[in-house]
Structure 1
Amino acid sequence: MHLVAISVDSIRIGQPLPFPLMDKEGVLLAQRAFVIPTRHDLEVIAQRGGGLYIDVADSEAHHRAYVERLHGLVNQGKALGEIAGVKVSRTVFGERSADYVLPDWLDLQVQANTLLRDSSPAVFMDRLDRLHAQLSLHANRNPDGTLFALIHLSATEVGMYSATHAMLVSMMCGLAAREVMKWPPAVEAILCKAALTMNLGMTELQDRLASQLGPVTVDQRKAIEGHSERSAQMLEAVGVKDAIWLDTVRAHHVQAPGPLATRTPAQRLARLIQRADMFAARLSPRASRQPTAPGVAMQACYFDENKQVDEAGAALIKTVGIHPPGTFVRLITEEVAMVIKRGVNTATPRVAVMINRNGMPTVEYAIRDTSQKEYRIVASVAHRDVRLTVNLERMLPLTQIATSERPW
C-alpha cells in the first residue's frame, strides 16, 4: 500500500466516503461508505490521524469526489473565494499548469494516422509540427504516462498500427536522446520527427500487414525494402530540406553494429531509431503472430547483430527500463502487476497489482515498489497472457505518483 495525503476540503460532509481514510501509518480511520456528519467531526478524525491519507489506488475516486465537492459549492452559491480555496492534494495529481490539457490518445492516434496518410505539401509540415509539439509536451510533463499509454496501445491494438508505432518510436528515441545521450534539443527534435516520418512511404501497407493473416507477398516485400528511400523522397516533396533528417530516414533500417562515435550524425540517429523500431515492432500484435513478451523484446534491442551490447539499445533500455511503463510483470508474491513508473534503476519500477496471488483481478490496485525484495519482479508477462481490459483513464493518474529520482 502506498499512502498519499489529501486535504480535508476534498471530503464531502454528510455523504458516504468513496474510499477508506487512514492515518499516516495506514491505520483505518473511517471505512468506505462511512458518513462523516459535520466538519468538526472530520477535523477531529484528521487531528487524531495526524492528517488524512488514502491508498494511491483510490486516487481516481478521490478526484471524482473533489470535483463533486466543487460542483456542490457552486450549486450552493458559495463565494468564488471560498471555492478557490478548496485544494486537492498535489501529492496525488502533481503540480500542473492551468493551461496543460491531459492527452487524448485516441485523438493523437487519429492525428498521426491523418499525417501519415495525407502527405499534401499544403498541410503536412503544419500537422507534423503540431503533433510533435503535443507529444513533446506530454513527454516533458509526464514521461512515464506517455510511455505507458503508447506501449499499452501498441501492445493491444492493430487499428492505426503505423501511427501508434511511429509515436512510440519517436517518444522512446526522444527520451533517450534527452535523458541518456544528452543530445541538444535541436538534434532531439530532428530525431523525433524522423521517427514519426520514417515509414511515410509504406503507411497503408504497414497497417494492412498488421491485420494480414497470410505471408508477405513478393510485391509487398519489394515495397518494404524500398520504403526508406521512398519515405525520404516524399519528405523532400513536402518541403523537408534538412539533410540529417532525410539521411536518418534513409538509413533507419540499416543493420550495422559498432560504436556510435564512428558514425555520421544521421547514422547515429538512424541507429537509435532502428533499435527502438525493433523493440516496438516485436511488442505489437499482428494477425499472423503473437507479440513478444516485453523482456524478450528488450533483450533483442540490447544486443547487436554480433551478439554484443549495442550502444543505442543500451541507451534505450536505460531510458525506459527493462520493464517499461505499460507492460505486465509477475512478482515474487505471485501477483501480476502493470508497470506504472520507472524506478531508480532499469529493473525496479513501481507497479500496480492487477491480479492477486489467487489469480483474481483486483478491484483496488495496490502499489508495489519492486526495489523491495519482498516485491521483486521474477518475470515479464506478455499482454496476451493477461485477460484484463485496462482503463487508461483510470491507470494514467497512477503514473504521476510514487515519484522516484532517476540517476541521470
Structure 2
Amino acid sequence: MFVLLPIEEITLGEPLPVDIFDARGELLLRKGQVIRDEHHRDWIAMHRPMLRREDFQAWTFRYNAAIDRALRDNRSLEEIAHVARPMNWQDAGEGVADTRPIDEIWAGLHAGLTLLLHQGEQAQDFLGRLQRLMAYLPQLLRPRIDPSVLVLVQMLYDRRLGYSATHAWLCALLAGEVAASLGWSAERQHSLRCAALTMNLGLARLHDDLARQDAPLSTAQRQAVHQHPLRGEQSLRRLGVQDALWLELVRDHHERQGGLGYPHGRAEVSAPAQLLQLVDVYVARLSPRINRPGLPAPRAARDVYMDASGMTTPLGAALVQVVGLYAPGTYVELASGEIGLVARRGRRAHTPLVFAIVGRDGLPKGEAPLRDTAESAYAVRRAVPAQEVKVRVALPRLLARL
C-alpha cells in the first residue's frame, strides 16, 4: 500500500531516504537519488508521487522526533516552523521510538485528533495530518497494547477531555487488533483504523457536547446524529479519500444486519462494518455520561459478545479475546477487599493483572501492588463503576511499572 508523498517538504539536492513511485506503482526515483531543482520537482509532482506506507511511517517518526527535540530545547516558534523532514538517515524501514512516557504520547495524539476532527473540511492537509498521527500506532500497539488501552479508558473517564477523539482512538486500536487476530490483511486493518478515527467527522463537536449534555436530544440533534455517517463520507470524499472500504465503513458504521441500523437500514452489512459498529457500541457503553454511568466492563463485553438471541457472535468473541472481560483502565473489587485498576490482560479473559490502589480498609495504598487475579485470594469479586472510585490514580507512576 502507498501514501501520497509530501513532495513540497523534500529538500532539493539531497539524497532521498525512500523509494518514490508513481500512482501506478512504477518506480520514479530510488532511495539515494536526488530531486535536482524546482523543475525536476514539478515533473515528479505531475506523476502523483507515492511512497510505501511503512516508509512514510518511519520517516514521520524521525520528523516528529525532530520537532519534539526543538520543543524540549525551547527553540523559538520561527525555528520550529523551519524544522524540515530529515533527509540523511540510513534506513527508512526502521521506525524511531518516541521516548516520552506513553500517557504523554497519547495526550498529544488526542489533542491532534481533536483539532483535526473539529476543523473537518476546513483543515489544511487533513489527510497528511491524519497519516502523521497514525504513524505513531506501530510503536503503541504490540507489545504496548495493554498500556495504551489503559490510558485511553482512563481518558474516557475524564470529562475534561474531548470525548470524540478519545472514542475514536480507542475504537481504532480495538478494531485494528481484532482484525489482526482474525487474520485480516494489513490493508483492511488500515482502512478500519482510518474509518474509526474519522467515522464521527460529521459530528465531532456535537459528539463532545452530547457526552456532557444532561437533557434528551433535541429534534435537530437527533437529525444530525442520524445523518452524520453520510455527512462524514461526503466530507472524506471532498478531502480526497479514495479508499473504497474506508468510505464504506464510515457510511455504514451504524448499520446492523437485518435492516435494524441507520441511515439506510441495510439488510446486509459487510464484516468490517459489523466489526466497527460492534467496537463503536462497546466503547460507547464503557463511557460515562452526565446522565448515566458507564457500564461495567463485563456488561459492555457481554452486550457485544452475544446477539439478541443469546448466541455468541464470532466478532464479539474476538473482541473479548483481544481486550478481556475487564478492559485495562477499568476498576474491579478483589476477593481481598481491595479496589484495583486493571493493568493488563491475564492468562484468561476473566483473570486480569490488577494494581491494588485502595486497601480493604478503604484507604489509598501508597505503592499499589500488582495482583494476579488468577490467584483465589485476589480473584475478581465484581466490576466497580468509575464514579465509585474516589482515589486519584497516579497514572504515570503505574505505567512506568508495566
TM-score with structure 2 length normalisation? 0.70
Whole-Å separation in 2 of the counterparts to 1:341 and 1:377:
14
Structure 1: tracts of 5 or more residues without a match: 1-95, 401-408
Which residue in 1 is equivalent to 2:126?
A: 124
Which residue in 2 is equivalent to 1:214?
A: 215
Alpha-carbon spacing, 1:128–1:266, altered in 2? closer, same or farther (3 Å):
farther
Paired letter, 2:217: V
DSSP 3-state at the match of 1:362: coil
Q: Is 1:322 the counterpart of 2:325 in the alignment?
A: yes
The partner residue of 1:153 within 148, 152, 155 is: 155
Which residue in 1 is equivalent to 2:64?
A: none
Alpha-carbon spacing, 1:172–1:273, altered in 2? closer, same or farther (3 Å):
same
Whole-Å separation in 2 of the counterparts to 1:314 and 1:292:
18
Which residue in 2 is equivalent to 1:251?
A: 252
Deviating more after overlay: 359-368 vs 151-160: 151-160
Give the 5 Å matches for 1:175-214: 175-178=177-180, 180-214=181-215
Is the Cα contact below 8 Å between 1:121 and 1:239 reproduced in 2? no
Whole-Å separation in 2 of the counterparts to 1:294 and 1:332:
18
The Cα offsets for residues 315-354 of structure 1, whole Å up to 9 and x where unpaired, read as 1111000001101111111111111111112111111101
Give the 5 Å matches for 1:277-356: 277-356=280-359
DSSP 3-state at the match of 1:118: helix
Deviating more after overlay: 366-375 vs 305-314: 305-314
Is the Cα contact below 8 Å between 1:329 and 1:338 reproduced in 2? yes
Give the 5 Å matches for 1:381-400: 381-398=384-401, 400=402
Which residue in 2 is equivalent to 1:366?
A: 369
The partner residue of 2:168 within 143, 155, 166 is: 166
Is the Cα contact below 8 Å between 1:330 and 1:381 reproduced in 2? yes
Whole-Å separation in 2 of the counterparts to 1:100 and 1:265:
45
What CA RMSD, in Å, does the superposition of the two structures yield over aligned residues? 2.2
Paired letter, 1:216: L
DSSP 3-state at the match of 1:351: strand
Greater length-normalized contact order (CA 8 Å, ≥ 6 residues apart) = 1
Whole-Å separation in 1 of the counterparts to 2:280 and 2:316:
11
Alpha-carbon spacing, 1:141–1:102, altered in 2? closer, same or farther (3 Å):
farther
Q: Is 1:274 the counterpart of 2:273 in the alignment?
A: no
Paired letter, 1:284: S
Is the Cα contact below 8 Å between 1:255 and 1:305 reproduced in 2? no
Whole-Å separation in 2 of the counterparts to 1:314 and 1:230:
31
The Cα offsets for residues 144-199 of structure 1, whole Å up to 9 and x where unpaired, read as 11010001111232531101110011111111112x21212221111111101111
Number of corresponding residues: 299
Whole-Å separation in 1 of the counterparts to 2:381 and 2:161:
32
Deviating more after overlay: 104-113 vs 152-161: 152-161
DSSP 3-state at the match of 1:200: coil
Which residue in 2 is equivalent to 1:102?
A: 101
Alpha-carbon spacing, 1:121–1:240, altered in 2? closer, same or farther (3 Å):
farther
Whole-Å separation in 1 of the counterparts to 2:302 and 2:218:
29
Over the matched positions of the two proteins, sequence identity in percent amounts to 35
DSSP 3-state at the match of 2:136: helix
